[in-house]
Structures are given as structure tokens and as C-alpha cells.
Copies of this chain bind each other. A is one copy, B any other.
Amino acid sequence: MKYFQCDYVEGCHPKILQKLIESNLEQTPGYGTDRYSETARKKIQIACGNPEAQVHFLVGGTQTNLTVIASILRPWQGVLSAETGHINCHETGAIEAAGHKVLALPSTDGTITGEQVHKYCQEHFESGIKEHTIQPGMVYISHPTENGTLYTKAQLTELKKACDTYHLPLFIDGARLGYGLTSPDSGLTLKDIAQLSDIFYIGGTKCGAMFGEAVVIPNPGLVKDFRYMIKQRGGMLAKGRLLGIQFDTLFTDGLYFEICEKAVKQALTIREAFAKKGIPLYGKSCTNQQFVVLNGEQLDKLGKKYAYEVWGPNGDGNTIVRFCTSWATQDEDVESLIGDIQEL
């Protein structure tokens, strides 16, 4: 069985493993105060084009989302998100458990627009009974989205403008950021992300690391005392150098971008194979996640050799299915899959 159902089925990139092996018995202070974390922070600042940016390392995505959001919002505020956003659907109410409502905006492709934010805020702040409803306090998006789609630079700029109008920090969940930035359709660089958001994270877990997410705060004044929050919410790793080593490696010689780009290319060849075969694509993902609509027979045939993720019913008796590649996907497995798609 070859696994295409998600992008976290293997361990980590061999270069990271090598670094972990080499440093294993070295003694370093804890909680992210070690030299590896320090150099990793520096390299990320440089990659973001912002030497003043704060960089913090956390262990996983849900943890990062809840820690960031709870550190920014006041108790009477909520976070605007696409209704399909990860925080709204797949984090077991982590944001609500931290006291905040996710204010869900309709979305068909995973993105939201500046206009939606503008309209929501306008209605709220002009309402006579606004204190009877939750105040919008920040905006959450993911890039790429849950659907594998990307914001254009124009869209992100417009969204940031709407956020600025209402003084809402813009938070970008970059669990799969590498796969977005290296997509041929990407109009955004890491520096753009750092300029067009108030806080974001660079995903490691799905992009080559064993685990780990790097939170970047371009304007360090936004969240004072973030280390208190990381510790309180359980995200401060005792052996913090494990995170430092991983991100240091990923941001040495462009490894992060190199391995993500390869995965995106693989995904797009799979996409092309489905398209050529006349199998309907679902959505317009140009990143490492590809969604297609399969009938029962196709599901069975491919299911014998490949693990995929069932995304949901398509409404016509067929099924939407996700195929993911990752930094670890083998070319031969992709070729095998494409061959079997052609045979369908």
C-alpha cells in the first residue's frame, strides 16, 4: 500500500535526521534558548526579510493556532475564518476552549475576501446592540487553504487592507506554507507573507520536519509575552533544540523550498493524469493536495494499491477524494499511480 492520503506519514527529511544524530549527545540549555534555535531564528528572519521579526517554535498546528489566537484576542472577541477553516472544523473546539468563537464566513474554495471582512465588521461596529454580539478581533486564513487553493497577491493585499481598516491582526496558518510558496501558481514569496500579515507560521510537520511550526511575528509589539503563552498552553518543548535543529536545517541552502517544490510538481502530474483521463477535478488546487471525483469502481481499483483520503460525497453518488504528495513522496510511487489512473 502506498500512502497518498496525507502529508505526514513518514518521519523527517534525511538531512534533519542527520543533524539530530550528530547533535544527540550535545548538551544545550532548554526551552528554546539553545544555539540551534538561535541560528534557526536568524535564518528565518533573513528568509522573511525582516531582522526584527520575532520567531518562536511550537510543536504542532492545533497548538500553534490556539496559542496564537488566544494570545491576541480579548475575551469578548472572536476570530473571522472561512467556514472551512481548520480552526472551525478540525481542532475539536480548541479555539472555543480558549474562550473565543470562530466567526465563520461562507467560502466555496477555502478563501475569504477583504470585502467579506469589511462587510462583517461594518455591520458589527455600526450595530446599535453590538455589545450583545461577539466583536471581530482578528482574521484567520490558511495559505494554502484546506482546499489546496492559494491567495493571489492582490487578494491578500485587499484582505490586509480590510483588516487594517478595523485594526484586526491578520494571522496566516501556514501548515503547508512551503507547498504554497513553491507552487507555479504562487504570486507570493515568503517576504510577501511577512509583509502582508501580522503573524503567521511556517509549517514544519507537513513540510519535511518530524514536527514543529515556526511562528513569525513581523511586528514584535503585537504579542508581548508570547513565551508565557507558549509555556501555559503546553507548547514549550523542554528540549527546544529539537525544534531549532529542524528549522535550522530546513532554512539552510533553501532546503525547505526545494523539497516542497518537488512535492508540488509531483502533485501536479497526478492532477494532469486525472484530467487527461477525463476524471473530474474538485476545485482548483495547484499545491500538494489534489482533489478528484471518483465513482465506486474507481475508488475500489485505486484503493487496492493506494491510500487516499475520502473528502466527502460529491452529491451525485460519486465521492470526492484527496491525494497528497509530500517532501517524502517517491517518484516511482507517483509513476505507478499515474499508470493506474491511465488504466481506469
Contact = CB atoms under 8 A, between A and B. Distances in A.
Interface of A: 1-3, 6, 8-12, 14, 17, 20-21, 23-30, 59-64, 66-67, 70-71, 74-76, 78, 89-94, 96-102, 129-135, 205-206, 210-211, 225, 227-239, 242, 328
A74 B11 CA distance: 34
Contact of A94 (B21, B59, B233, B239): B233
18 contacts: A1-B27, A9-B27, A10-B24, A10-B26, A11-B239, A20-B20, A59-B59, A59-B237, A60-B234, A78-B96, A91-B132, A92-B131, A93-B99, A96-B101, A131-B231, A131-B236, A206-B238, A211-B238
Given A9-B27, A229-B76, A90 B238 contact: no
A220 B28 CA distance: 39
A24 B9 contact: no
A75 B78 CA distance: 15
Contact of A93 (B11, B100, B130, B227): B100
A interface SS class: loop
Contacts of A97: 75-76, 99-100, 232-233
Contacts of A94: 231-234
Counting chain B CB atoms within 10 Å of each CB, which of A67, A98, A328 scores highest? A98
A133 B87 CA distance: 10
Contacts of A90: 129, 132-133
Contact of A235 (B20, B227, B230, B234): B234
Contacts of A1: 27
A78 B93 contact: yes
A62 B29 CA distance: 18
Contacts of A29: 9
B21 A62 contact: no
Given A225-B135, A232-B91, A238 B60 contact: yes
A66 B238 contact: no
